[in-house]
Amino acid sequence: MVIQNLIVLTSPPASGKTYWINSFREAISDERLLIISPLRALADECRERWGNEMDFMTPEEWLMKKPLNRIVIFDEFHLFFYWGDTFRPLMWEVFFEISQTAEMVFLLTATLSGKMREEIAHFCSQFNQILWINNGNQIFKVCTGKIHPCSRQVLAIGSNPL
């Protein structure tokens, strides 16, 4: 039985998620990372920055190639909720197929609502452990249009604590 871990990192825009990816890559240099981004421009930018050091793909590119990686990072994961049920339904197919075999899955996002957190907890029950790291969650309040970041804290650690 493969032990699977899920790490969810919420962190506002320009707060260092790309720096985190690079630091993680350096720390596990013997392992090839796969980064799935729903934004082609972001995937292309990462390819230019890191070249062949990591695999960068959109969900649709992954479906054509289907590489197997032990460690997978889903960048801009909130877009799976915004787009995955409507005009890009293959995004969810990719997430579920990858998350069945990868040993470590990271979800990076700038914003995550309570409903999104509930859905992640519900649909990710196959993971042995879920680590939720809140480095600030960009929340838009419709009435004011202001950004209200949450405090920095680890929300949950352990065996499927959500």
Interval 44-80: pLDDT, tens: 877 787 777 888 889 999 999 998 889 999 988 888 8
CATH number of the domain within which 148 lies: 3.40.50.300
Average pLDDT estimate for 106-117:
85
Number of separate domains in the chain: 1
Rounded to an integer, what distance in angstroms lies between the CA atom of residue 103 and that of residue 98? 10
Question: Is the residue at 39 inside a domain?
Answer: yes
Question: Is the residue at 162 inside a domain?
Answer: no
Residue 135: HSE in the Cβ half-sphere, 13 Å Cα cutoff: 16
Q: What is the pLDDT of residues 8-55, one digit of tens each?
A: 888 877 777 777 787 888 888 788 889 998 888 877 877 787 777 888
Question: Is the residue at 161 inside a domain?
Answer: no
Question: Is the residue at 22 inside a domain?
Answer: yes
Interacting residues of 153 by C-beta distance below 8 A, sequence separation 6+:
134
Q: Model pTM?
A: 0.79
Local structure of residue 150 (DSSP, 8 states): P
Question: Is the residue at 28 inside a domain?
Answer: yes
The Cβ of residue 78 has, within 10 Å, a number of other Cβ atoms equal to 18
Single-letter residue type at 3: I
Question: Is the residue at 103 inside a domain?
Answer: yes
Parallel/antiparallel/unpaired status of strands 104-109 and 153-156: unpaired
